[in-house]
Structure 1
Amino acid sequence: MSTVTIYTTATCPYCIAAKALLQSKGVAFDEISIEGDRAAASALVARTGRRTVPQIFVGATHVGGCDDLHALEKAGGLDLLLEQAALDV
């Protein structure tokens, strides 16, 4: 099981950009599409309080959306968070 989970829709450009960043780093992730899936959309709201995608989790830590993920990467915190999540598995 991956330590990264990302809630998405197929055509969301922010979802595509977030996944591209993770893929460029060689990070495997579990993708949960909420498109047309009311149960998944409800689970997203229950877990995050948000309805927008992407919503990204590294382990149990809610990173936020695409801009949050890129800011974390730019600040040098994404690798640290990924390492910590891998240790917690």
Structure 2
Amino acid sequence: MAKIEIYTKFSCPYCHRAKALLTSKQLPFQEIKIDGKFDLREEMIKRSGRTTVPQIFINSEHIGGFDDLCDLDTCGGLDYLTPDI
């Protein structure tokens, strides 16, 4: 089963949209809330090379943010990366 991780902040509208997209496709994900958690934010930056949220990983592969997730879904890549869910 594919493992989806998403780093988020509560006040981020793109985080809410990314979670809604994954939920609409019935894809389970692990949400990593970084609000006020410096260590988790640093972990996200180290893994992704980016400082913005959301940051999304599928099977430890960095997908990117919300726009990247949408692009992946539009071209069918999201279904390809998560076929067994």
TM-score (norm 2): 0.93
Q: Is the 8 A contact 1:56 1:64 kept in 2?
A: yes
Structure 1: segments with no counterpart, 5+ residues: none
Deviation at 1:17, TM superposition (A): 0.3
Q: Is the 8 A contact 2:5 2:31 kept in 1?
A: yes
- Give, in whole Å, the separation in 2 of the partners of 1:58 and 1:3: 6
Match runs of 1:1-89 below 5 Å? 3-83=3-83, 86=84
Deviation at 1:63, TM superposition (A): 0.6
RMSD across aligned C-alpha pairs, in angstroms?
A: 1.7
Higher relative contact order (CA 8 A, sep 6+): 2
Runs of at least 4 residues off by over 3 Å: none
Q: Is the 8 A contact 1:4 1:29 kept in 2?
A: yes
Partner secondary structure for residue 7 of structure 1: strand
Deviation at 1:49, TM superposition (A): 1.1
Higher helix share: 1
Deviation at 1:2, TM superposition (A): 6.5
Structure 2: segments with no counterpart, 5+ residues: none
